[in-house]
């Protein structure tokens, strides 16, 4: 085996061991945190995420709005076609 493969397998084994230790620690501490502490941790995580992920640019915001508008327009067209092409047995029913 090449040295890179040996190093990769070794790193992977360390990663798996770390994951198992983290999971065991999580299981051991289950129930220790109050709901308020969990909420605070969640808010801290969200704050961190907002700091590392800056606001989208104006172009990205505009494009997102345009994509949603196009999606809603397709849904409206679909709904209009669905209403126009209903079968005779269903046409008399209230919507």
CB 64 within 8 A of CB 55: no
Specify whether 1 is located in the same domain as 41: yes
For the chain, what percent of residues have pLDDT higher than 70?
89
What are residue 24's phi and psi, to 5 degrees? -60, -40
Cα-Cα-Cα-Cα torsion 7, 10, 16, 17, nearest 10 degrees, comes to -140
Q: Above 80 in pLDDT, residue 94?
A: no
Three-state SS at 61: helix
Domain count, the chain: 2
Specify whether 60 is located in the same domain as 48: no
Q: Above 90 in pLDDT, residue 54?
A: no
Print the domain residue range for 82: 56-95
Specify whether 4 is located in the same domain as 42: yes
pTM of the model: 0.37
Specify whether 46 is located in the same domain as 60: no
Q: How far apart are CA 85 and CA 95, in angstroms?
A: 14
| pLDDT tens profile 6-50 | 999 999 999 999 999 988 888 888 788 888 998 999 999 999 988
Check residue 53 and give its pLDDT.
Answer: 80
Specify whether 48 is located in the same domain as 62: no
CA distances in angstroms from 9 to 6, 14, 17, 20, listed in the order given: 5, 9, 12, 16
Split at pLDDT 50, 70, 90, the class of 71 is very high
Mean pLDDT over all residues of the chain?
Answer: 86
């Amino acid at each position: 085996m090449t040295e890179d493969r040996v190093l990769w397998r070794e790193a992977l084994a360390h990663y798996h061991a770390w994951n198992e230790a983290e999971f065991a620690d999580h299981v051991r501490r289950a129930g220790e945190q109050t709901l308020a502490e969990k909420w605070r941790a969640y808010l801290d995580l969200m704050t961190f995420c907002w700091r590392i992920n800056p606001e989208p640019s104006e172009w990205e915001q505009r494009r997102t709005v345009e994509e949603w508008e196009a999606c809603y327009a397709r849904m409206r067209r679909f709904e209009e076609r669905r209403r126009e092409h209903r079968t005779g047995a269903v046409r008399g029913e209230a919507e």
